[in-house]
Amino acid sequence: MARAARSAETAAKPAPAPTPTPEPVKQATNVMALVDAVGALSSGTLAGSLFLFDNNRWAGSTGHGTGSLSTVAQKGDVVVWTTMALECEAFVRLQLVEIDSAYAEYVALDAGAFSETPEVYWYATILKPLPVDGVPYRLSYRLGSADAPYRAAVESRLVPPLLAFVPPTPGKPEEPALVPSQEDVK
């Protein structure tokens, strides 16, 4: 009987109001910049010394290993930019991800630092579907003891996914084209 009385008491209490939860991130895409600081400092430019990669190639990102990356992103995604120096002794810090204010309605941009390190990262939350031609941006870096930041020679873009893109089915390799053997040709 005691159990039934407790259950009745518990059932009589109204359930607490649910707390609103933030919308979950659809995809977190990491953009890694490999910077040849020695090459950039000796040439005075990031041209040929900035190599960009992301982990979203399967979705259609292009330009991996170049200074101009097109990263596929869509509403609700988060894009995070980090940096690695080619030479471990060289100082490289991502100073700025520069996005024109005309594109402010598409992305919310912010920066942070990993705890207990000088490593800076930038991140963008994609607020709404990106325009067909994408959202252009440029990266700027602090290198060595240079007085001024080095700005990327070319722009990169956050681009929408291809409309007709269908990811391959895992575990089902594409069949090679059939080529007639020499016996079949005879």
DSSP string, 116-127: TS--EEEEEEE-
The full set of domain ranges for the chain reads: 28-159
For tokens 């060289």, what's the residue? Answer: 90
* pTM score, whole prediction: 0.73
Backbone angles phi, psi at 110, to 5 degrees: -150, 170
Confidence at residue 22, expressed as pLDDT on a 0 to 100 scale: 59
pLDDT in tens, the chain (186 residues): 454 444 445 455 566 666 665 566 677 999 999 999 999 999 999 999 999 999 999 899 999 999 999 999 999 999 999 999 999 899 999 999 999 999 999 999 999 998 888 789 999 999 999 999 999 999 999 999 999 999 999 999 999 998 544 455 566 555 555 555 555 555
Q: Provide the pLDDT for residue 167.
A: 53
Residue 137: strand pairing partners: 99, 156
The CATH number that domain 28-159 falls under is 2.60.40.3910
- 158, with CB counted inside 10 A (0-12, 13-18, 19+), is buried
Q: Please give the Cα distance from 150 to 44 (Å, whole number).
A: 8
Q: What does the pLDDT read at residue 123?
A: 96
Specify burial of residue 40 (Cβ count, 10 A radius: 0-12, 13-18, 19+): buried
